[in-house]
Chain A
């Protein structure tokens, strides 16, 4: 799983009308500049305090047809067709969101959410959506990722502010996924367990493997982006309607790097809230 190369200024995935709207938001032609943001007012304030200007709400999406892969009943295995689909569709959505941010002239996107919608409306169809607020630093500076994408982060305004205060900057929203088929237990296995407390090794092993694959893929992305670590990392578990034995482990977090090698973390202050 690797990302397709990214060209700054490309807007392949966007409708022409969207490109025009985004350019107008920057103040092209006779239109005055206008920003939008889905940040709360407090987040808005903190993003500005940190030296950034919110430019616009940016979104990208993909409605994706997920292929079919039929695993053996008694087999623990990764369903690579499904893994590939879940990764590729999210990447398409992310790239479109990044393209929108680039048209706005942004340095990066904060508060990114990745949403998968899978409802009764589509057999094997799912909607993947990426949404966030594009921002730009008032003084300039390089906030792009090593492969020249705008930076992305799923941190909210409060966490973003705190991260910058402590001398780190977000690089990229990194993710890894693994769709795994957990084997059904055989008849003999079930028979041996009657009336006893026993670990179900094949289940444990399956969940371990799947989580491990997902996490290592997320880490590989952070390494590729030359990050020093990932904050807010988590693993989400979902079966997206595939049935009880097929699970997706989706790891996601914000890869960070140091603003300067000699940065200082300020000492925390004690606050006693009255509420």
Chain B
């Protein structure tokens, strides 16, 4: 944390306590699925959910031990250690609000910086939870696509539809998680997409990472802030 954000953290009620982290390594049960048309990698979906929940539980536990009100600037990372082993790791800075006294509710998790929290607070929003929607989808070549003429311009109907489906599933999961914590929205969403050619077709891996926020101060409005333009 820089000197500037330390000062801002004092104003915003986010005084740093220390780094906390949570890690979970999961072995994926069912490895592959393949279908005639398109199918989700269901085993991986469950593993991601499990790893996310475990890692969040652990980072929260560390935050509670430090009597923190939340964890900011969380770095969320997901990686495959091998074909069958998945790791989710998150680390961030535990913060406390000295004015609020002893913390009783669950600490919040957020990917945002201290400055961003201050800006959000001006709008009346408070961070709740990191949300992560994920989907890995296998799309096979359909009948229409295998008959495509090679020399002309044309959209690939099956591949396009598969990608849209994968993205929608990942996006829906982001929402479901935000709804679970009764958030009003998700800010700073970072989409990530990987496309690979597989033997039978295409493989899409789509994820959305963001911070769910809820509206806590009805009196706040964007008009409390006067933006000025910096001409450089």
B183 touches A64 (CB 8 A): no
Cβ of A269 within 8 Å of any chain B Cβ, yes or no, is yes
A275 to B171, CA, bound (A): 38
Residue with the greatest number of chain A CB neighbours at <10 A, chosen from B165, B193, B223 = B193
Chain B interface size range: 35 or more
A271 to B151, CA, bound (A): 58
Cβ of A131 within 8 Å of any chain B Cβ, yes or no, is yes
A116 to B225, CA, bound (A): 37
Question: B120 to nearest A CB, angstroms?
Answer: 6
B228 touches A271 (CB 8 A): yes
User: Which of B47-55, B58-66, B91-99, B172-180 is found at the contact surface with chain A?
Assistant: B172-180
Cβ of A3 within 8 Å of any chain B Cβ, yes or no, is no
B168 touches A63 (CB 8 A): no
Q: Which A residues are CB-close (under 8 A) to B11? A: none
Q: Which residues of A contact B (CB under 8 A)?
A: 13-15, 17-18, 21, 24-25, 31-42, 44-46, 48-49, 54, 57, 59, 61-68, 81, 84-85, 88-89, 92, 96, 117, 119-122, 124-125, 127, 129, 131, 158, 161-162, 165, 268-269, 271, 273, 275
Residue with the greatest number of chain B CB neighbours at <10 A, chosen from A38, A85, A88, A125 = A38
A117 to B197, CA, bound (A): 13
B152 touches A67 (CB 8 A): yes
B186 touches A36 (CB 8 A): yes
- Say whether, besides A41-B187, A268-B229, A120 and B175 are in contact (CB < 8 Å): no
A21 touches B172 (CB 8 A): yes
CB-contact partner of A42 in B119, B151, B202, under 8 A: B119
A18 touches B168 (CB 8 A): yes
Q: Which A residues are CB-close (under 8 A) to B17? A: none
B116 touches A127 (CB 8 A): no
Q: Total contacts A to B, CB within 8 angstroms?
A: 158
Question: A30 to nearest B CB, angstroms?
Answer: 11
- Say whether, besides A15-B165, A61-B163, A63-B156, A38 and B222 are in contact (CB < 8 Å): no
A45 touches B228 (CB 8 A): no
A35 touches B195 (CB 8 A): no
CB-contact partner of A65 in B155, B190, B208, B228, under 8 A: B155
CB-contact partner of B185 in A35, A63, A64, A125, under 8 A: A35
- Say whether, besides A65-B153, A89-B155, A41 and B188 are in contact (CB < 8 Å): yes
A122 to B163, CA, bound (A): 15
Q: Which B residues are CB-close (under 8 A) to A40? A: 116, 188
Q: Which B residues are CB-close (under 8 A) to A124? A: 150
A119 touches B195 (CB 8 A): yes
B187 touches A62 (CB 8 A): no
Name the CB-closest residue of A to B172.
Answer: A21
- A-B pairs with beta carbons under 8 Å apart, 17 shown: A34-B185, A35-B186, A36-B208, A37-B187, A38-B191, A39-B187, A41-B112, A41-B119, A49-B222, A57-B189, A63-B202, A64-B155, A65-B152, A67-B154, A84-B153, A271-B228, A275-B4
Q: Which A residues are CB-close (under 8 A) to B148? A: 65
A21 touches B175 (CB 8 A): yes
